[in-house]
Amino acid sequence: MMNHTPSIPSVVLGTVQFGMSYGINNATGQPSAEEVYAILDDARKLGIQTLDTAGAYGSAQELIGNYHRMNNQTFQVNSKFKGTDASSLRKELEQCLHTLHINAVKTYFFHSFSDYITTPSLLYHLTQLREQKLIGSIGISVYSNEELRQAIAEPEIDTIQLPFNLLDNVSKRGTLLKEAKEKGKKIQVRSIFLQGLFFKDPHTLPPVLFPLKSYLETLHYIAKVHTIGMETMCLQYVCAQQEIDELIIGVDTSQQLHRNLEAIQENCPASLLPLIDKVDVHENNLLYPYNWK
């Protein structure tokens, strides 16, 4: 069997799980502050340099800031702002830097694509903050292909963050990742585990997700015949996409972090990738967890 050995994208540690109870498969709730600090310690030891956070992630920014205050070394941090008017953007960033206990945000993201559309002056203010080196680069978080297309066309946007996974896959995104790369964008992907959905027994889905059952069964079947663990398949599918620069991994425990970083290093049977590409979810709206309520 031929093995596919991908060039490994760098890993960014997601932090929404630190600041609030998160995920469809989450039985343990929000980790304690001590558990969060232990995960951050492990992340540092394992070579992770960057965190992904946001003002909207409950206590996540405070926990990261406390961790920085207690330790000599700091992480590079990407953060996101939401629904602000352009005149208060700088103030909000300064507050964010203070909370995180850092001098500059690595990439500052529009958390909502709609803010980019409704308040065009935000982008101008972000370019000023970038010039003043209070932020390293400008990012935008998108969901749909239409948002992705518009982000690709915006010259001032440096980084695009989007969901990409076994179901929100090549058959959904088509050539858009390639187009983004051609325009010089950095591509960062999230929702690699679709909030833990891939680890759920397809027979125990909540009613709203019943339409995804057959697709999940197909994925479990593909994993079984290739004798590959689900976390390995989730991660290796993303690593196999040459255009992806960074993957964001969200974990609730140190054990998951260790397991996921091991899974990234494993080989993946090349024959598995086209089978996943062919899984074509028709219910596009269910690919986005905000529609699961």
Ligand X SMILES: NC(=O)c1ccc[n+]([C@@H]2O[C@H](COP(=O)([O-])OP(=O)(O)OC[C@H]3O[C@@H](n4cnc5c(N)ncnc54)[C@H](OP(=O)(O)O)[C@@H]3O)[C@@H](O)[C@H]2O)c1
CA distances to 17, 237, 288 from 232, in Å: 21, 8, 22
3-state SS, residue 172: helix
Residue with Cβ nearer ligand X (33 or 271)? 33
Shortest reach from residue 163's CB to ligand X, in Å: 7
Task: Assess contact for 228 and 268: CB atoms under 8 A.
Answer: yes
Shortest reach from residue 145's CB to ligand X, in Å: 16
Give me 290's structure tokens.
């905000």
Residue with Cβ nearer ligand X (74 or 141)? 141
Shortest reach from residue 128's CB to ligand X, in Å: 23
Residue with Cβ nearer ligand X (131 or 185)? 185
Contacting positions for ligand X (CB under 6 A): 14-17, 22-23, 25-26, 52, 80, 111, 141, 161, 190-196, 199, 231, 248-252, 256, 259-260
Residue with Cβ nearer ligand X (136 or 196)? 196
**In this structure, is the dihedral angle defined by the CA atoms of residues 24, 26, 32 and 38, taken in order, positive or negative?**
negative
Cα separation, 120 vs 61, whole angstroms: 26
Residue with Cβ nearer ligand X (89 or 162)? 162
Give me 132's structure tokens.
């003043």
Shortest reach from residue 250's CB to ligand X, in Å: 3
3-state SS, residue 18: helix
Name the residue with the smallest CB distance to ligand X. Answer: 14
**In this structure, is the dihedral angle defined by the CA atoms of residues 240, 243, 245 and 247, taken in order, positive or negative?**
negative
Q: Which H or E run contains 79? A: strand 76-81
Residue with Cβ nearer ligand X (52 or 246)? 52
Shortest reach from residue 270's CB to ligand X, in Å: 23
Cα separation, 88 vs 55, whole angstroms: 14
φ/ψ of 160, rounded to 5, equals -120, 130
Residue with Cβ nearer ligand X (39 or 192)? 192
Residue with Cβ nearer ligand X (220 or 271)? 220
CA distances to 7, 44, 145, 168 from 164, in Å: 17, 25, 11, 5
Q: Which of 72, 131, 70, 142 has its CA nearest to residue 104?
A: 131
Q: Which of 91, 17, 109, 98 has its CA nearest to residue 60?
A: 17
Shortest reach from residue 53's CB to ligand X, in Å: 6
Shortest reach from residue 278's CB to ligand X, in Å: 21
Shortest reach from residue 78's CB to ligand X, in Å: 8
Q: Which of 84, 28, 22, 90 has its CA nearest to residue 53?
A: 22
